[in-house]
Structures are given as structure tokens and as C-alpha cells.
Amino acid sequence: MDVVFNGHLHIPYQLTESVDEFKHADIGISYAPQPVSVENEVFIWQHAMMVATDIQEQTIDTGMFEDEPVFFQSPYDESLLPFDIFALSFYLLTRYEEYLPHPKDTYGRFPAKVSLACQAGFLQKPLVDILVLKFAQKLQSIYPALKYDAGVGEYIATYDIDNAYAYLHKGLVRTTGGLIKQLFRFDFKEVGNRLAVLFGGRRDPFDTYAFLELMQLQYGLQRYYFILCAEKSGYDRGLNPQNREFQKLVCQLHTQGKIGCHPSFASSSSPAKLSHEINTLSGIIKEKIRFSRTHYLLLDFPVTYQQLIANGITMDFTLGYPELPGFRASTSKVFPFFDLSTNRQTPLQLLPFAYMEETFQNYMRLKPGEALDVIKQLIDAVKSVNGTFVSLWHNENFEKNGEDWKTVYEQSLTYFFS
């Protein structure tokens, strides 16, 4: 109810179990397993999950309400809505299904294809946001004096810096090893590119920071940079955090946007590594690290978030799928993480992203124009609910797969701000 009334609609509310107090309310909503039969009552049927204290497999039968998919449908015709809006929102926002037994992908992640949103066909919709607005409209039809504020839509640009540079500042051993590998593959074009960068004849292809600054000047973007600040490992290939040029770049980016940690793949199984990486990044920018998004979008409910909270993280941006665009928690708005394992709301705020460019490039294998069409549809969906549109790009991918992807990004910004 905090999310629905305070977070989405900005309507103050009060909970009561007193029928007498309820009778004197200007607007009274009874939320119960059956009608309370109080004068002027607006009844919303309550699903049993909402009073349970443990995590159980739920029966999900989807239906339709005003052209939108819904579940936890009410057995009572008297219910204001033919489904439990609070239980539906709670199930999706808490990622209830990710606490239940489920298959995992190669990296141990929850696959998009097994999610309810994907299987029921609403992954590309911020369904919670849509249904909460419909709920508000229903209430207002009964109480015309009711005022609600759906908020103001905004765009937040986020960038993951996995590899700050393709060739520069790698050190003698890594640079020599890279050249030898390319020579053995007879990849003479790439050898030429590497040497041209190393000897100052060409800009490093991952150095797209001037382009990002140009986008900021043109569109006035809110920006977050998530920095991989970890020792080299099998899945973590960034620069050494002690490298002076790396530190200089991080400090430069800190003047342009907010800095968040990008916890490494290795840190997902090592709380000590996670703390070390966050503290190292904090030492570079001389500021407490409050924001995060995990490398490879590794997310294990509730352990990942519990560890981030223990390290002082107050907002996380990991909530999205690598293989498909859309809304993992069926919302485009920030909301608090509710830990089902402890039945408690936490201070950690979650802000989902709508798409990642690598999803289009490496998973879906879309052409730039096809990707832009999907992004526009997602933008339309978020704008329709006054949500927050969060995009995820990697500095290396604006040029890695061709200049056309720069155009996709710029055109998507133009489309949002037009």
C-alpha cells in the first residue's frame, strides 16, 4: 500500500482494524477476504497470500481487465476490481517467483523466459503502473473529489564501464599477450588497430566518453556510471583499480554524473571481495558509494540485495533481464526492496531498467533499426504511466558493432525528449 498510495499516486492513507473508525472515513476501502458490509464501503477482495508468513507456490490463473492481463482474480462481484491489485503488485514487485524453485541459466541467473511476465505476454509492459492508474480512476469515479498525482516522467541514462579502454593502459604483459593472440589468429587488421591506438595515431575504440558528454550537453541527461573496480578474473576484464589512468577517468566521470559500483562476477560468491571493491571505488572518488548494478546482471534473491545493504548501498539498478528487454518487476518506477525471507521492507530502493543495448546486439541479434523500434515502444509504455525510463549502455558498444548504434542511442533520446 505504501508503493501504490504513496509511491505511485501520492495519496495519504491510514490503515485501521476498527469498524467505528472506518465508518467515519471520507473514503473507506475495506480490504478483506469477504465484504465487511459497512455503509459506503468500497470493497477490494484480499488474496490469502497477503496474510501468509511463508513463501508458497501460488496458483496463477490469468484473465483480462480492460485489455490488460491480471491474476489473483476475485470470487466476489462486489469487489471494486475483479482482482486483488495489492496482491498482484506485491507478487510482481517482490519478485516472489524468484524465491521459488526455478531453472537457472549458465551464469546462475533467473531466465526471462520462465517469468510470469514473459509467459503471460506482459514483459514489455509496466503492468503494475498501468493497473494502479486504472485503480485510481475507478476510485475517482466513486469519489470525484479524490485527487491523485501520477508523477512526472523522466529519463535516466546509465552506463556500465566493464572495460574502460580496449588497448590503452593495460600494462606490458596484457598488451603483449593481446598482440600475440591476434597474430596467431592472423587478425592483422586488429593488430594494426591496436598499434595505431598504442602509438597515438587513433583513439581507443572504447573511449566513447566524449560522445556521452555530447549527449549530456544536448539532452541534459541524469547520468549514472557503474564502474567495474575489481582485480582481473575469468569474467572480470577491467583495468587494475590501482592504475592511475583508470583512477583519473573515474574522477573525470564523477564530475559528469553519479558513480556507482559494478560488483564483479567474482564478488557474487565472496562478500569480502564485494566490500573491497566498494571501498576501493569509494577511495578513488573520496565519497561514499550509494549506487550499484552487478556485473553480468547477477541477481540472486534475496542474497544479492542483503549483501548490498550490508555495504551501505541505498539504490540498485540491476533489475532487468540480459536476454530480453522489458520490465522485470513490471514497473518503471523506483520502489523499496521487500525481503520475503524476513517479511520486512528494507531501506534499499530498486530502479529497474527498460533495456540493455547488448540484449539487442548479442542476444536478440537485431539490426540497429529494429532495436530502435523496440526502444520506441518501451518509451511509449513508460511515458503512458509517467514512469522513469532507464537505459543501460556499455561505453565499448557505441562503436564496437558499428557507428549505427550511436545513431540508435541518439535517436532514442530525441524520441523521448520530443
Residues 85 and 161 in one domain: no
pLDDT 10s digits, 234-263: 999 999 999 999 999 999 999 999 999 999
Angle (CA) 393-398-400 rounded to 5° is 115
Structural contact between residues 17 and 30, judged by C-beta atoms closer than 8 angstroms = no
Residue 400 pLDDT level (bands cut at 50, 70, 90): confident
Residues 40 and 167 in one domain: no
Residues 97 and 188 in one domain: no
pLDDT, average across residues 410-417: 98
Residues 9 and 131 in one domain: yes
Residues 191 and 135 in one domain: no
Residue 375 pLDDT level (bands cut at 50, 70, 90): very high
Does 285 reside within a domain? Answer: yes
The residue written with cell numbers 593495460 in the block is 170
Does 147 reside within a domain? Answer: no
Amino acid at 290: R
Structural contact between residues 279 and 267, judged by C-beta atoms closer than 8 angstroms = no
pLDDT, average across residues 286-298: 98
Does 119 reside within a domain? Answer: yes
Asked whether the whole model's pTM tops 0.75, one would answer: yes
Distance CA 348, CA 211 (A): 32
HSE (side-chain half, CA atoms, 13 Å) at 317: 31
pLDDT, average across residues 160-166: 95
Residue 402 pLDDT level (bands cut at 50, 70, 90): confident
Respond yes or no on whether the N-terminal peptide bond of residue 302 is cis (omega within 30° of 0). yes
Q: What is the CATH number of the domain that holds 296?
A: 3.20.20.370
Query: What's the domain range around 337?
Result: 154-417
Structural contact between residues 42 and 30, judged by C-beta atoms closer than 8 angstroms = yes
Does 282 reside within a domain? Answer: yes
Structural contact between residues 103 and 96, judged by C-beta atoms closer than 8 angstroms = no
Residues 134 and 160 in one domain: no
Number of domains in the chain: 2
pLDDT 10s digits, 301-330: 999 999 999 999 999 999 999 999 999 999
Give pLDDT, residue 200: 76
pLDDT, average across residues 200-225: 94
Residues 221 and 106 in one domain: no
Residues 133 and 22 in one domain: yes
Give pLDDT, residue 173: 62
pLDDT, average across residues 161-190: 76
Q: What DSSP string runs through 253-315? A: HHTTSEEEE---TGGGG-HHHHHHHHHHHHHHHTS---EE--GGG---TTHHHHHHHHTT--E
Residues 102 and 161 in one domain: no
Domain end among 117, 142, 167: 142
Report the percentage of the chain scoring pLDDT > 90: 85
Nearest to 114 by CA among 128, 93, 100: 100
Label the pairing between strands 344-350 and 335-339. Answer: antiparallel
Label the pairing between strands 154-161 and 388-394. Answer: parallel
Domain end among 142, 174, 208: 142
Residues 184 and 128 in one domain: no
pLDDT 10s digits, 26-59: 889 999 999 877 777 899 999 999 999 999 999 9
